[in-house]
Structure 1
Amino acid sequence: MLAIRFLRSVSPPLKCVRRSYKTNVSAQNTLEIRNNVYQTDEWTNITPKILSYIGLNKHLQKNHPLSIIRQRIVNYFYRSYTNSRGNPLFSVHDKICPVVTVQQNFDNLLVPADHPSRAKSDCYYINKHYLLRAHTTAHQIELIKSGLDNFLAVGDVYRRDEIDSTHYPVFHQLDAVRLISQDKLFGNNLDLHIFESSYKVNPSSFSPINSSSKCIDQSKQPCHTLEAVKLTEHELKTILLGLAKDLFGNNIEHRWIDTYFPFTQPSWELEIYYKGNWMEVLGCGIMRHEILESCGVTNSIGYAFGLGLERLAMVLFDIPDIRLFWSNDTGFLHQFNESNLYKLNKYKPVSVYPQCKNDLSFWLPENQDIDSFSANDFYDIVRNVGGDIVEQISLVDKFKHPKTGKSSLCFRIVYRHMERTLTQAEVNEIHSKIAQSCVEQLEVTIR
């Protein structure tokens, strides 16, 4: 949910705009995903490369680092919350289809209509109504409506992003919700209540597009009493700090940072001081009550949190490159074993293969300038053609011709295979195919 970096802290090297580019997928008129057929339209920007990740479920692969971290977190919640019979209160949902509606991914979570996270440059759209989920929070309402009040949702999420050692178009999140009723929060104390006496239940007023999502008051939502918020905040922060200690050790230094998410108020990020730097572990907050009302929940207060599995696994296993999570190389996979979840073997490079660096320069179409160019369109072309042998892309030069007014960009593409040495000849062939695809899909002119 929240630790997905819904409001990005790192800006892409070029401005992201709502610009479509030509793809073979769009030209097919239909897409089949998980035995369902979808019509394509002007919003379609999903690529064959991205489609190939659906169903791989690395978070469920035995002995995989992502699966080990997932199990550690699930086991922590199983131990922390049990009923009177000693059974876990939290249910786990880790096989939910990643195709969601725009309403699930944005509207239900009070994301404003003009929020930049809705842009085609940020998400993989199947068509204007469907996309690959950008966060596991997209399933929050359907799970609550099914009658659940304590659950963990885990799965792959999809974001158009830059290319480097810490960014990948597919990654994995764990999202959690806990709803607490009056008697659970206050026991037999009849003098304390979850809601202010002036608050009136009105679920019919739920309007995600028009709802004001700006967190004006970090202390609480108008409907909640301060006592209810403080008790829920205490439970939330206690359980999440305990999770961080379970993962990183009891002696960690930590801090809570006030932040903003459209779907919680108040909201926080948990950071720990790790190896000389402050590192964000997760995001969390008190659930917006409008969301609960839309699910028919009118007598409870809820908290939610979310985190990225890759972020934690890269730190805990000393994995230097996010592409390694998708490797089928036995030299990588055989280093990890889930027989003992508390013995985390540090990654040891099997071999270090050399890089190959090629530059690609092109003129933009006459009617386009640098500010209107979407870098994520270019990154997706490179991913689709080059796959995981592309280690990093950086913008090394941009230029506007003083006479013609045409704009030029130069990107440096770093190629490196995770399992063998690449020859310059095969890199040149791939680089040439990328250039040709840019000509066809972005309508640029190679320099």
Structure 2
Amino acid sequence: HLWTSSGSLPITDGPAPRPVIGQDSVEVLGASYPRDDFTNVTAKILDKVGRNLHNQPHHPLWLIKERIKAHFYSSYIGRWGNPLFSVHDNLSPVVSTEQNFDSLLIPPDHPSRKRGDNYYLNRTTMLRAHTSAHQRELVRSGLDAFLLAGDVYRRDEIDASHYPVFHQMEGVRLFTNHEVFSKVQDGHELSLFEAGGRRTPQKQETHSLEAVKLVEFDLKNTLTRLITYLFGDDVEVRWVDCYFPFTHPSFEMEVRFQGDWMEVLGCGVMEQELVNSAGAGHKLGWAFGLGLERLAMVLYSIPDIRLFWSQDERFLQQFRLPDIQQPVTFQPLSKYPPLHNDISFWLPEESEAGRESFTQNDFYELVRSVGGELVERVSLQDEFTHPRTGRRSQCYRIVYRHMERTLTQDEVRRVHQQIEHAAETELGVQGRY
């Protein structure tokens, strides 16, 4: 629940008060954060905090989350007959930069930390960019097997499959020496760890190759079973080697969908340094993360990511199923015609400090703030450098389409003019009309 701007107690009945961006502070989810030179969160983004689509019964994202939960609950049973994996889907999206980056061994100069790619409340606090921000604290609390779901926030391009707020689900599983080798003959003679080892593409320095191969097999087997459960027995799966700062070796799983290979999740053997820092240094683990929107768009044939935020009953009622396992294919609402306008401008000069004074994500964010859900796509059409002055200009095409009604030319023209004006006053560009 959110605080009111006067700092009164959270209201538990009725709609929560809206978050507030003040001159000196940002108030969200019952706390106030001082603003500084890193603050870049917008009112439109803060409006989404607390919506928790993944926890709204019968929402398509809730359906996917519940199906994944049901699979893990039924497939993995603990020694006493209880579910092996616990589920955490209510953790606050407001995290420290230490949680979001440092706890996951993301180096200080890593590009993923850039202000242009994230929503910062201030230099030390942000809206989480991935649910992995909570991995260390959950392992530290003594959990060996858990699923985690939540909303995550990233400044990004604008098209049918990208939105600044989306939802992730991830899983973590830790193993003791006995659990890894219990089914291996003479397994008691084997160890998770080895002294003086070297990091190779197959394993980390401290891990034994035997342990890593068994954990990797368990990870891939677990995820293949999950995707088969979601997509059906005839789904084709392949594994691609990749890199993440917090796992090694790391993999992406791709499924063949409508003739193309599509990446659906990332995973790997957890970096031992991360596990050690969470107080579980005698264990070895795996982790995976997937995007709920991506799965829902594929499984339910939802064509545009903006639809997940729709309040339109024609959309929502299609997912009110008596049984979460019942297949459903989204029947499109009427496809309303798009309207598009172009915007061209000269970019501002580089700042004296050499810091980039304009980034594409800044422009996308401004278009989102002004145009909101009316904007379907923004694409860079043309770039030009003046041969004499060296000044650079860019031209973007903005496609407008409402999900629930037909837009008028006049309505779009007014919004487009607001975007032109805001780009000049807020981003320091100079229009070319």
Give how far 1:401 is off: 2.3
CA shift digits 1:279-333 (9 cap, x unpaired): 1121111111111111111211111000000010000000110000010000111
CA contact (8 A) 1:26 1:44 kept: no
Moved more, 80-89 or 179-188: 179-188
Query: 2: CA distance between counterparts of 1:142 and 1:91?
Result: 14
Are 1:35 and 2:30 an aligned pair? Answer: yes
SS in 2 for 1:190: helix
Give how far 1:372 is off: 6.1
Give the equivalent residue in structure 2 for 1:386. Answer: 371
Moved more, 257-266 or 330-339: 330-339
Query: 1: CA distance between counterparts of 2:229 and 2:293?
Result: 17
Are 1:149 and 2:132 an aligned pair? Answer: no
Query: 2: CA distance between counterparts of 1:267 and 1:61?
Result: 32
Q: In structure 2, what residue type is equivalent to 1:194?
A: L
Give how far 1:434 is off: 1.1
Aligned counterpart in structure 1 of residue 268 of structure 2, from 285, 307, 319? 285
CA contact (8 A) 1:356 1:415 kept: yes
Q: How does 1:38-57 map to 2 (within 5 A)?
A: 38-57=33-52
Percent identical:
54
TM-score normalised to the size of structure 1? 0.88
SS in 1 for 2:202: coil
CA contact (8 A) 1:318 1:347 kept: yes
Query: 1: CA distance between counterparts of 2:369 and 2:323?
Result: 37
Aligned counterpart in structure 2 of residue 235 of structure 1, from 195, 204, 218? 218
Give the equivalent residue in structure 2 for 1:296. Answer: 279
User: Could you say if the C-alpha distance between residues 401 and 94 of structure 1 is closer, same or farther in structure 2, counting changes exceeding 3 Å?
Assistant: same
Query: 1: CA distance between counterparts of 2:212 and 2:282?
Result: 14
Give the equivalent residue in structure 1 for 2:187. Answer: 189
Query: 2: CA distance between counterparts of 1:93 and 1:70?
Result: 11
Q: CA RMSD in A?
A: 1.9
Give the equivalent residue in structure 1 for 2:397. Answer: 412
Query: 1: CA distance between counterparts of 2:326 and 2:239?
Result: 28
Q: In structure 2, what residue type is equivalent to 1:91?
A: S
Give the equivalent residue in structure 2 for 1:138. Answer: 133
Query: 2: CA distance between counterparts of 1:258 and 1:446?
Result: 45
Give how far 1:26 is off: 7.8
CA shift digits 1:212-264 (9 cap, x unpaired): xxx96221111111111111111111111000100111122211111111001
Q: In structure 1, what residue type is equivalent to 2:344?
A: S
Give how far 1:115 is off: 0.9
- Paired residues, what number? 408
Give the equivalent residue in structure 1 for 2:239. Answer: 256
Query: 1: CA distance between counterparts of 2:349 and 2:285?
Result: 53
Are 1:430 and 2:376 an aligned pair? Answer: no
Aligned counterpart in structure 2 of residue 349 of structure 1, from 326, 332, 342? 332
CA shift digits 1:52-91 (9 cap, x unpaired): 1000011111111111000111111111211133210111
Q: In structure 2, what residue type is equivalent to 1:434?
A: I
SS in 2 for 1:126: strand
SS in 2 for 1:412: strand
SS in 1 for 2:146: strand
Are 1:335 and 2:318 an aligned pair? Answer: yes
Give the equivalent residue in structure 2 for 1:103. Answer: 98
Query: 1: CA distance between counterparts of 2:298 and 2:128?
Result: 25
Aligned counterpart in structure 2 of residue 398 of structure 1, from 379, 383, 394? 383
CA shift digits 1:117-140 (9 cap, x unpaired): 000111111111011100000000
CA shift digits 1:347-370 (9 cap, x unpaired): 11121111111111112224479x
Give how far 1:165 is off: 0.3
Q: Which of structures 1 and 2 has the larger relative contact order (alpha carbons within 8 angstroms, sep 6+)? A: 1
Gaps of 5+ in 2: 1-19
Aligned counterpart in structure 2 of residue 70 of structure 1, from 54, 65, 69? 65
SS in 1 for 2:417: helix
TM-score normalised to the size of structure 2? 0.91
SS in 2 for 1:334: helix
SS in 2 for 1:303: strand
Query: 1: CA distance between counterparts of 2:21 and 2:363?
Result: 16
